[in-house]
Each structure stands twice: as C-alpha cells, then as structure tokens.
C-alpha cells in the first residue's frame, strides 16, 4: 500500500494522520504502533525506529494505544475505573499508595478532577460527557506513563466543544514530553 515513505516525529509533538474513510489511517497507525497481526496472505516490510533503534518487540510496552471505541464499565466512577486498571497494569509489587498517586496524577493531567467521582455512565445510565469518557479511555492507557501515545480517531463522534477539549488534552500531553 505504501512504498518509499518515511517520516519522523519528535517528543512534544502531535501528529495527525488525516484522510477519507477507508483510506488506511487505522492500518497505518497499527503499523506504526507495531500492532499488525501476522497473516499468511499479507506481508509487511520496512522498519519503525525509536531513537534510531528497532524496538518493534518493545513498542507495546513503550507506548499507549487508545482505540476508537471505548469499553468502560458504566457503573464505575472515573477514579474506580482507573484504580481497577492500575491494579491490572502497573508492575507487580507497586504499592497501593503509589497506585493511588499515579491514578490521581492521571486524573489531574487529563483535567478530570471535577468528575473523578462521577459514574462513567452509558446508553441507559447518566454519567460523563463524550469528551470526558474519551479522556478516561486515554487515562487508562496513560497509567504506565508511556512516552508515545497512539490514538485512533480520538475526536470521532464528539461535538466540536468536546473535540476541542480532547485536542487540548492531547496538546497538553505532548507539552509534557510525550509524542502523540
């Protein structure tokens, strides 16, 4: 699909891949994030380098990947959602106080302090706005404090106000030293 293409993105930058529906944006993002499953009928060649090194095997541990569609528990609060995920994702042996500190840091970083104890909600349960839900989904991926963040259509389905809030969050994440 792509031939002879190269590019680079530095820390503290936000890069957007834009194009019409079906043009391969998600496929390219998956290649960059080293999330392409091996198929006997497809080939993938080339390299994705991090600081000049081929870290294809380590990329899943070095990066966050926020999928387009979130899967959150409607009856959990923002804080409960992140605490539950922290228990699953943070390294074994992380103390409860360190987990709580990391959860609080992510809540603050994503500007979710005002709704930290609000139910996430869903189709039949009142809860967060669409933009807040998207930021919770981003927060789940940021618990390990990765230097690289891949996001598949982070503003899809949001109104212009919520999309702007999410983009401001992404800009803030980049300003903190991450590559988004």
Q: What are 55-69's pLDDT values in tens digits?
A: 778 888 889 999 888
pLDDT for residue 123 = 87
**Reported pTM:** 0.85
- Using one digit for the tens of pLDDT, what is the confidence trace for 134-151? 999 999 999 988 999 999
Cα of first residue to Cα of last residue in the chain, in angstroms, is 24
pLDDT for residue 156 = 87
pLDDT for residue 1 = 63
pLDDT for residue 7 = 83
């Amino acid at each position: 699909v792509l031939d002879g293409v190269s590019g680079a993105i530095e820390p503290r930058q936000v890069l957007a891949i834009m194009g019409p529906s079906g043009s391969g944006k998600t496929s390219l993002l998956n290649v960059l994030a080293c999330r392409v499953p091996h198929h006997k009928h497809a080939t993938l060649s080339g390299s994705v380098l991090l600081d000049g090194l081929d870290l294809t095997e380590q990329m899943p541990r070095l990066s966050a990947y926020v999928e387009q569609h979130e899967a959150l528990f409607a009856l959990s609060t923002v804080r409960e959602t992140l605490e539950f995920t922290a228990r699953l994702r943070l390294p074994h042996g992380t103390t409860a106080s360190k987990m709580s500190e990391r959860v609080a840091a992510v809540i603050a970083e994503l500007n979710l302090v005002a709704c930290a104890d609000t139910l996430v909600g869903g189709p039949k349960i009142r809860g967060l706005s669409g933009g807040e839900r998207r930021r919770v989904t981003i927060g789940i991926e940021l618990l390990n404090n990765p230097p690289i963040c891949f996001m598949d259509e982070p503003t899809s389905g949001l109104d212009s106000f919520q999309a702007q809030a999410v983009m401001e969050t992404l800009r803030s994440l980049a300003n903190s030293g991450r590559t988004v």
